[in-house]
Structure 1
Amino acid sequence: MYWANFLHLYQPADQIPEIFDRVVAESYRPLVQLLLDHPQVKITLNISGVLTRQLWQANHRDIVSGLATAANRGQIEFTESAMYHPLLPFLPADETIRQIRLNRDTNRKLLGSSYQPKGFFPPEMAYSPEILPILVKLGFEWIILDEIAFNGRVRQAARNCTYQIAATPLRVYFRERNPSNLIMTGLVRNNADLQEVMGDEFPQKHFLITGMDGETFGHHRPGLTELLVQLLTSTEFDHVFFSQLPGFFPKTTVVSPLVSTWASTEKDITEKRQFLTWKDPENPIHKLQWQFQKLVLDSVKKINTGTAREKLDRALASDQFFWASAKPWWSLEVIEHGAWQMLDTIRSLPRAQKALLIQAESLYHQIIACAFQWQRTGVVRKAYRNYRETPRVPFKERTIGAGEPWVYKAFIELLEQAMRQAAIKKNFEGAILWRDAIWKLDTQNDIYDAIHAVDLLRRQIPDSQVLAMIGKYRREYERHVSGQPEQRGT
């Protein structure tokens, strides 16, 4: 099987130095070392220009030079993106082009001739058809999107052909959620685990496409770098670049991707709320933020100066919207910083009229006041609960309470088996996950999990094994239970 693996590296322009250095030590440096130590490893990589520049300025130049060396050895296929990680579907075309060119110029300056991207990664895989003419104009050959963009559902794109976007020369590659998420969560620890967890889905594929944040390995999930080493050095897969796939799979199918992000759910697509995390129509903070951004964009265009122009570039980052969603992401610090960047941009304009300054300061204070009110009055906690807690019934109640205790006992034994197997493989994160899942099922605290343990388990084992275990406990139950519904005492 061919495997095209995509990693995305990004840090905000004003990341706290201590956090930045930690991410470098835990994720970026081990990744570069992996590439240098294993010349056969291939990855398709996006590194935002804002990160490349920070690495250079913070004296982590070995990371930049290491990536350049690996690329010159034919190990990295770079992709292009937008400099400061803005949400492209909501930017004017000229700003989108500017962000892409800033990213290109920065990376070419620091990475050298090794930086020759043919493909494009839109930040957050945020896609709308409006960006297509821009990508065609700038000469890109392909784009990576989440598989939800294929037709609004997951696991729909075929893996024996490549896709071309209708009425364009652009190819589109769809990132697969299941294998990507299994790797990022640490539920698999080697190739065998990955194949086992994917079950019947695995042998049906001709190629695999994964897409993940590079910071997942080592920073967000300590110890996961070892898994990345095992997967990328495996000889059980033919590791290829995205641009190589058409050579192996010449059949092309035309498709019209849907508006989406890699966070969109099937429900979001149906309800046309694909950008809910960044632009929630019911979120007053989002409304103020987007109003402020439009004001700043319009003002800088009228009075275009170097200082204000550069500040605007940075202020267009999508982070402030993301952290104001409260579904579940929330950070007063990031919200304030985003609003301050926009206010600071307005203040940098020469000859800015007093009315404009007053309007900008008013929007800044409205955003901060609304955010603090949300924090103080419990709106954030309520939004989090509404986001996480759909009406749920504990698994114990759905099985034992519904007169099917054998189903409950079967899954408990399967979870115990999974826990022991994980421990034997020294996958201690997995063992802890299954141990905690058993406790949650027993105490009926499973209703609070975003992803239910039973659903995770069923991804890892074939249905035949589940049915066999349920059958075993049902037969045992039927041998011991009276035909009378009531329990008679002595």
Structure 2
Amino acid sequence: MLWLNFLHFYQPANAEFYNIRKALDKSYWRFLVKKGRVELTGSAAYHGFLPLLPAEEVVRQVKVNERILRKYFGVSFKPTGFFLPEMAYTPAVAQIIKRLGYDWIILDEIAYGGNLKHRPVWGSFYIDKDSGLKVIFRNRELSSAYPPDKLKVVLKESVTSKSAALNEPLKVPAEIFVTATDAELYGLRHEDPTAELEKLAKIKGLKTLTLSKQLKAVGRKKLEKINIWPSSWESSPNEVKNKQPFNLWHDKSNKIHSDLWLLINLALGLGDRFKKDKNFYWYRWHLVRGLASCTLWWASARDFSKIFGPYAWSPDDIERGLEDLIRSVRSLNDTKTKKAKLEAEKYYLRIKKRIWKEHWKKHWQKTI
């Protein structure tokens, strides 16, 4: 039996510092990388939602992330794998990642067949016809809660965790288990008081590998070429079918989303026009923080409690991203930006009003 476990370590750059410090204190250390027990991948430095951003911005965020990795892990450090924020895939984004020198990505199983019925062979890599990237798929069901709890059920071991006990045994037709979750599940958002992770580690015959080592292990086989569906790790089958796989971040019926995208596109456009502005550094500093996918995710008002997640509504988190977006526009010094500044302020005030009106009318003290 083999467990391939991908962990997404991330806190928004504009999050409260104590949250970042807490996550860092409970995260990995460099010696794990040196020992080969942890493999790092590339990603977008500020967790922008790549399918909805211009190609230039995608490249910029990837290269910033590469500089950060080289700073802490050596000038020759270059990962071969890449994590698309929110596992949000489109052919255009995948082609950019391939051009930047990456070899493989991990996606949610829904990207394989566009639904949750046609499933990949777990642990196998495929070739994306559009980009040439190698792709491995995570098992959504195993990843929908704390994976050690789910795996204990699958392996028919004694389950003491409440979150796992509520689930029926899973039908996994292979002895390779591929999971991918936020790393904060391990010790930050979920404490694991019954030490299910440690129990898994003691199971004889359950091995682990990094994804690159798994790719090397299967690399002698001819990989199947497939078409991959645009999707994210939270896309529903209906959203994929209706060609709206990214509704969590851009729902056209969500007025806050619509106004945020008006402000985002205005801010991005100013950067193209005023690259020589003396305050361009501060424009970028605020912009990338405002572009984090979390700003939009927290405005979706989706209920994820059934899959070990929160109710996706947080006016404070929306505002945090909103403040950085407006400050990016305000930072520019050129007098020619005045008209755009006034337009941005209009969007800003309208969004602020919508956030708190919706909060008090629909979400305040809501029981889920």
TM-score calculated relative to the size of structure 1: 0.65
Q: Distance in 1 between matches of 2:156 and 2:260?
A: 44
What corresponds to 1:423 in structure 2? none
Q: Distance in 2 between matches of 1:319 and 1:247?
A: 34
* Deviation per residue, 1:192-243 (Å, 9 max, x gap): 44699896844x4152211111101122111269333333564422311212
Q: Distance in 1 between matches of 2:250 and 2:148?
A: 27
What corresponds to 1:314 in structure 2? 289
Q: Distance in 1 between matches of 2:12 and 2:260?
A: 18
Q: Percent identity?
A: 30
What corresponds to 1:374 in structure 2? 358
Q: 1:70 to 1:287 in 2, by over 3 A?
A: same
SS at 1:15's partner residue? coil
- The Cα of 1:162 is off from its aligned counterpart by 2.4
- Please say if residues 49 and 86 of structure 2, whose CA atoms lie closer than 8 Å, have aligned partners that are also in contact: yes
| Structure 2 residue 128 is matched with structure 1 residue 165 | yes
What corresponds to 2:341 in structure 1? 357
Q: Distance in 2 between matches of 1:376 and 1:160?
A: 46
SS at 1:174's partner residue? strand
Larger RCO (CA under 8 A, 6+ residues apart): 2
Residues 69-218 of structure 1 mapped to structure 2, 5 A cutoff: 69-112=31-74, 115-154=77-116, 156-159=119-122, 161-184=124-147, 186=149, 189=152, 192-193=155-156, 201-202=171-172, 204-218=173-187
What corresponds to 2:252 in structure 1? 281
- The Cα of 1:376 is off from its aligned counterpart by 2.9
Determine which of 334, 342, 350 is the counterpart of 2:317: 334
| Structure 2 residue 227 is matched with structure 1 residue 219 | no
- Please say if residues 280 and 286 of structure 1, whose CA atoms lie closer than 8 Å, have aligned partners that are also in contact: yes
Q: 1:289 to 1:101 in 2, by over 3 A?
A: same
> What's the RMSD between the two structures over aligned residues?
2.7
SS at 2:78's partner residue? coil
- Please say if residues 190 and 227 of structure 1, whose CA atoms lie closer than 8 Å, have aligned partners that are also in contact: no
Determine which of 268, 271, 283 is the counterpart of 1:297: 268
| Structure 2 residue 299 is matched with structure 1 residue 324 | yes
- The Cα of 1:128 is off from its aligned counterpart by 0.9
TM-score calculated relative to the size of structure 2: 0.85
Q: 1:190 to 1:206 in 2, by over 3 A?
A: closer
- The Cα of 1:2 is off from its aligned counterpart by 2.7
The structure with the largest helix share of the pair is 1
- Please say if residues 79 and 117 of structure 1, whose CA atoms lie closer than 8 Å, have aligned partners that are also in contact: yes
Count of residue pairs brought into register by the alignment: 345
Q: 1:153 to 1:15 in 2, by over 3 A?
A: same
Q: Whose Rg is larger?
A: 1
Q: Distance in 1 between matches of 2:103 and 2:47?
A: 21
Q: Distance in 2 between matches of 1:205 and 1:194?
A: 17
What corresponds to 1:3 in structure 2? 3
Counterpart residue type for residue 10 of structure 1: Y
Q: Distance in 1 between matches of 2:14 and 2:125?
A: 39
Q: 1:139 to 1:24 in 2, by over 3 A?
A: closer
Q: 1:113 to 1:74 in 2, by over 3 A?
A: farther
- The Cα of 1:291 is off from its aligned counterpart by 0.5
Counterpart residue type for residue 9 of structure 2: L
Determine which of 242, 266, 279 is the counterpart of 2:211: 242
Q: Distance in 1 between matches of 2:194 and 2:42?
A: 25
- The Cα of 1:19 is off from its aligned counterpart by 2.8
